[in-house]
Each structure stands twice: as structure tokens, then as C-alpha cells.
Amino acid sequence: MSKEMFIVRRLVLIAICASIIIVGKLIFLSIPNIEIVTFFLIIFAIIFSFKEACAIALIYTIVEIFLFTFSEQFYIWTFIVIVTSLVKKVFRENFQLWALYSGFFGLIFGTLSAIPFFLFYEYFSQNLPKETGRLTILAYIINGLPFDAIHMVGNYFIMLFLGKTVYNLFKKLTKQYFFENGD
Amino acid sequence: MLKNKIIVSVFVLVLAVGILVGYKLIKKSQTQEGIKEITVEVVVGEEVKSVTFKTSKTMLGEALIEQKLIKTESSTYGRYVVGVKDLASNDGSFIEVDFEKDGTFWFIYINGTAAEVGIDDYAIKDGDVIRFELQGGNE
């Protein structure tokens, strides 16, 4: 396979993976806080290189902003990919650990989305009393606790039941895509 | 291996239930027991009418329904106010709004700031001032 062909194939792969996440997001839209975006992002971050996984997360973020307007969770998807890339050498292929990891991200999702509000109120707004940021983040987190709990359980079980299967499938398909259907 | 899986899964579920219980406890600790006195102001245009009453209910929605001050309709986001009692007349009639028809709605202020939660999610405190303002429409 020529070098150009290889690059084109990688680009197409990134686009396809991003669209898989978008479709997955739309399918689970009607169930609050059950989502497979985190699941796919973790799987892709394990399989692909850091740059490619980041590209997938960024494409997804941009499409999400177009579909559902800009929201406080815009940075979380890239954040998940970065953290996953850092720990993937430690967790390897232990999907029990990955399930816990995924559940943990579900649990802190509310806290992560509250951080932009906190920063905004604490440092960028002038006419508000000083403790507004802290009170807002606290109210935000407490009110979101039930949803965080659902998110955690959802993320954990999705990764536990599907993790290994989907990981192996993507690994196999990626290998075929690059080396077996060669030009 | 399978045993570990089950133990960890049970732990995750227990943690989730614990969080839900903790949430309920936090919410409960925010409510105030006993008799509370609250004031309801109804604003239509320039006209302001108010009524003060005592209640033992904890949530705003229940207290207002108990006093027959509001009329509600339920939706997927919880109950919302469609009518507020006409305090000018004594026959207990309601000033009703219909957002779909003419774009009017009741805007709720709690102690001077716009309400952040619905009437069933607000725990009343002694001395609260609840203000209903008729807004929207072709004025």
C-alpha cells in the first residue's frame, strides 16, 4: 500500500469512527444519562493512537455542538480521550478495570460539567458576590447526583458486557482494513 | 474471575443506591418543618395584589394548591402553573394563561429573583415572598 493510500484510509477510518459515536448518541438520546459515547471513546482511545482518538473526539464535539447547541460538556469528550491514552498502558486489556474506569467517568460527569460554570462565575463575571461560583457548583453537583448515579451504572455495565467484544471486533476490522484488503 | 465480576458489579449498584439515598437526605435537610408564613403577590400589568398565609406544607406546589391559589397542568418536566387566583374578585376564579394560544405565561419570582426550579421542587422557608407575574402576549 502506498503512503498516500495509507493516510487516506486513516482519515476515512477517523470519520467512520466519529460517525459511529454520533449515531450511538442519537440512538440513546431518549434515555437520560445512558449513553455509549464514553464507551466508544474509551475503546477508540485504546485501539488507535492518541492523535487519531483526539481527532475522533473533536469531530464528535463539533457535531454535538451543531446538533444540540454549545453546552458545558464540550471539553469532556477530549478530556476522556486524553486520560484514557495516559492510563491505557496500565489497564491493558483488563475490561473489569475499564468498566470501573468508565463508571467513574459517569459518576464525575456532573462535576466535570459544573467546572466551566464555576470558572465563569469565579473569574470572569464582575458583578456577582464572591461565593456565587462555589454555591453554584455545589447546587449543580447535588441536583445532578441521581443522574450521575444512573450514568455510572449505565457506563459500568455497558463496558462490562460489551467492552471486550467490541474491542476485539474493532481491532480485527482495523487490521483487515489496513493489511488484508490491501491495494 | 466471574466471582470478582459479580462482587464489583454489586458494589457499583450499592454505590449508586447510596448516592440516591444521600441525595434524598440532602434534599430533606433543605426543607423546613413546622408552620411557615409566606406571601404571594400576583402582578397583572401595573396592578399588584398580595395575600399572606400560614402553611405546614414543605413544598411550594403543595402549599399553593392547599390555599387554592393556583391551577396547574402536568407535563414531562413536572407541574407548571396555568392559572393564578384572581385576588381582586372574591369568587375564587383564576386568571388563566395559554402559551400556545396567545403566548402568555406566569413568571415566578422567589424573594425577588427568578425561580430556578419548578413549584414542586422548591422547599419553602418562613418569610418567603412568591411573586407571580403575568408576562408575554400581545401587549
Is A152 in Cβ contact with B16 (below 8 Å)? Answer: yes
Per the CB < 8 A criterion, the answer to whether B53 and B36 are in contact is no
Is B12 in Cβ contact with A153 (below 8 Å)? Answer: yes
Answer yes or no: do B11 and B77 share one domain. Answer: no
The shortest CB-CB distance from B12 to any of A142, A146, A156 is to A156
Q: Residue range A107-126: average pLDDT?
A: 86
Helix (H, G, I), strand (E, B) or coil at A169: helix
Per the CB < 8 A criterion, the answer to whether B44 and B52 are in contact is no
Query: Closest chain A residue to B17 measured between Cα atoms?
Result: A149
Answer yes or no: do B85 and B127 share one domain. Answer: yes
Distance of CA B46 to the CA centre of its chain: 24
Q: Which of residues 16-45 of A touch B (CB under 8 A)?
A: none
pLDDT value at position B123? 85
Answer yes or no: do B40 and B25 share one domain. Answer: no
Query: Closest chain A residue to B21 measured between Cα atoms?
Result: A146
DSSP label at A20?
A: H
Interface test with B, best of A31, A117, A153, A162 (most B CBs within 10 A): A153
Query: Closest chain B residue to A161 measured between Cα atoms?
Result: B5
Q: Residue range A85-97: average pLDDT?
A: 92
pLDDT value at position A146? 92
Considering only A46-50, A152-156, B18-22, B36-40, which range has the smallest mean pLDDT?
B36-40
Q: Residue range B63-69: average pLDDT?
A: 86
pLDDT digits (tens, 9 = 90+) for A66-84: 999 898 889 999 999 999 9
Q: Is the dihedral of CA A123, A127, A130, A136 positive or negative?
A: negative
Q: Is the pLDDT of residue A182 over 70?
A: no
Residues of A in contact with B17 (CB under 8 A): 149
Provide CB contacts within 8 A for A99, sequence distance 6+: A156, A157, A159, A160, A163, B8
Write out the DSSP string of A27-86: HTTTSTT--SHHHHHHHHHHHS-HHHHHHHHHHHHHHHHHHH---TTTTHHHHHHHHHHH
Answer yes or no: do B119 and B88 share one domain. Answer: yes
φ, ψ (nearest 5 deg) of residue B50? -135, 155
The shortest CB-CB distance from A142 to any of B4, B15, B26 is to B26
pLDDT value at position A109? 93
Q: Is the pLDDT of residue A183 over 70?
A: no
Answer yes or no: do B101 and B84 share one domain. Answer: yes
Please name which of B58, B40, B37, B57 lies closest in space to residue B48, comparing C-alpha atoms.
Answer: B40
Answer yes or no: do B69 and B97 share one domain. Answer: yes
φ, ψ (nearest 5 deg) of residue B125? -120, 155
Interface test with A, best of B4, B5, B13, B23 (most A CBs within 10 A): B23
Query: Closest chain B residue to A146 measured between Cα atoms?
Result: B20
Answer yes or no: do B57 and B119 share one domain. Answer: yes
Residues of A in contact with B23 (CB under 8 A): 142, 145-146, 149
pLDDT value at position A133? 75
Answer yes or no: do B22 and B67 share one domain. Answer: no
Is B16 in Cβ contact with A96 (below 8 Å)? Answer: no
pLDDT digits (tens, 9 = 90+) for A1-18: 788 888 898 999 999 999
Query: Closest chain A residue to B117 measured between Cα atoms?
Result: A143
Banded model confidence at residue A118, pLDDT cuts 50, 70, 90: confident
Please name which of B95, B75, B97 lies closest in space to residue B85, comparing C-alpha atoms.
Answer: B95
CA angle B113, A33, A41 (to 5 degrees): 120
Q: Residue range B90-94: average pLDDT?
A: 77
Answer yes or no: do B87 and B20 share one domain. Answer: no
Per the CB < 8 A criterion, the answer to whether B48 and B113 are in contact is no
Spatial distance between the Cα atoms of A114 and A108, rounded to a whole number of angstroms: 10
Q: Is the pLDDT of residue B58 over 70?
A: yes
pLDDT digits (tens, 9 = 90+) for A19-75: 999 999 999 999 888 999 999 999 999 999 999 999 999 999 999 999 998 988 899
**Chain B residues in contact with chain A using a Cβ-Cβ cutoff of 8 Å:** 4-5, 8-9, 12-13, 15-17, 19-20, 22-23, 26
Helix (H, G, I), strand (E, B) or coil at B56: coil
Residue span of the structural domain in which B1 resides: 1-30
Answer yes or no: do B116 and B79 share one domain. Answer: yes
Q: Is the pLDDT of residue A181 over 70?
A: no
Q: Is the pLDDT of residue B83 over 90?
A: no
Total structural domains in chain B? Answer: 2
Spatial distance between the Cα atoms of A136 and A7, rounded to a whole number of angstroms: 46
**Helix H or strand E encompassing A154:** helix A132-175
Q: Walk across the sheet containing B78-85 and list its strands.
A: B70-75, B78-85, B94-96
Per the CB < 8 A criterion, the answer to whether A171 and A95 are in contact is no
The distance of B93 to chain A (nearest Cα, Å) reads 36
User: What grid cell was written down for B34?
Assistant: 413546622
User: What grid cell was written down for A18?
Assistant: 466519529
Answer yes or no: do B56 and B119 share one domain. Answer: yes
pLDDT value at position B100? 80
Answer yes or no: do B42 and B92 share one domain. Answer: yes
DSSP label at B124?
A: P
User: What grid cell was written down for B118?
Assistant: 419548578
Spatial distance between the Cα atoms of B85 and B55, rounded to a whole number of angstroms: 17
The shortest CB-CB distance from B13 to any of A99, A148, A153 is to A153
Banded model confidence at residue A180, pLDDT cuts 50, 70, 90: low
E strand segments, chain B: 36-44, 47-55, 70-75, 78-85, 94-96, 104-110, 113-114, 129-136
pLDDT value at position A11? 93
The CATH number of whichever domain residue B125 belongs to comes to: 2.170.130.30
Spatial distance between the Cα atoms of B105 and B44, rounded to a whole number of angstroms: 11
Banded model confidence at residue B138, pLDDT cuts 50, 70, 90: low
